Amino acid sequence: MNIGWNAGGYERDFSFVPAYGRDVVGLVDVQPGETCLDLGCGNGTLTAELRERGLDAFGMDASPEMLALARKSHPELRFIEGDATSFTLERTVDVVFSNAVLHWIDRERHPEMLSHVAAALRPGGQFVFECGGHGCGARIHAALADSFRRRGLVYEMPFYFPTVGEYAPLVEAAGMRVTDAALFDRPAALKGPDGMADWIHMFVRRPFDGVDEAVAGEIVAEAVEGLRREMLRGDVWYADYVRLRMRAVKIG
């Protein structure tokens, strides 16, 4: 994973992320009592939703800050620390679920991550996930890249946003059969009059590593102003999200 989290700010201003994930939960073929790992569980909202649907769900996250928040909010559930690219479980599970996590993993590490997911599943177990897909945030990242370029800086894209055709073969190479796949637009309303700037400050961190704080502020302000015409509707900012959603079953 390539980010550290402001857990409180995430829960306060970006609660729409796990809220949208409730639709992904519906893609799980739930058999009551089956075990489920919520991979990249964040604040535990969807771990609790999975439990309410009848699954014996527990959460895993690489962020101690997020895990502390999850344990505080859902003391009845089990949460463990682990990295999606290197985790192992004592016992295989029936479902691995993940929402809004995989796009944070660098492209070259996805085969490794998927091999760990497959190893965590029993034969016939399900891998159900949603993440950013090709074109997600394209306008925002283009505006930031322009602002970087004007200052002689290079904007490093911090996310991996694949197409269905690009990602399904990676899943299948790990020993899983893709049964459902979709790539779709889902504009996300942001909170408050500074919603776009807040979104950039929360989620786009790696490109600003080593950039002078004052220059970084200028870049964000310039990008936000450039996005105003397209991304501000009335008094609400929107992020141009595109989501990749899949369900796969472990072969064997």
Across all residues in the chain, what is the average pLDDT?
92
pLDDT score of 22: 77
Tokens read off for 245 = 């959603």
At residue 12, does pLDDT exceed 50? Answer: no
C-alpha distance from residue 243 to each of 53, 129, 184 (Å): 23, 10, 5
100 and 159 Cβ atoms separated by less than 8 Å: no
Conformational region of residue 234, where left means phi above 0, alpha means psi within -120 to 50, and beta covers everything else: left
Domains of the chain by range and CATH?
A: 7-136+159-190+240-250 (3.40.50.150)
Buried b (16+ CB within 10 A) or exposed e, 97-111: bbbbbbbbbeeebbe
Q: Which of 184, 201, 193 is nearest to 240 (CA)?
A: 184
pLDDT score of 77: 98
Tokens read off for 22 = 């409730």
At residue 14, does pLDDT exceed 90? Answer: no
Q: Which of 43, 1, 3 is nearest to 204 (CA)?
A: 3
Provide the strand spans (E) within the chain. Answer: 35-39, 56-61, 79-81, 93-99, 121-132, 176-185, 188-189, 232-233, 236-239, 242-250
Please list, in sequence order, all residues whose beta carbon lies within 8 angstroms of the beta carbon of residue 138, skipping any fewer than 6 positions away.
Answer: 240, 242
pLDDT category of residue 9 using cuts at 50, 70 and 90: very low
Rounded distance, CA 219 to CA 227, Å? Answer: 12
At residue 30, does pLDDT exceed 60? Answer: yes
Rounded distance, CA 136 to CA 53, Å? Answer: 29
pLDDT category of residue 19 using cuts at 50, 70 and 90: low
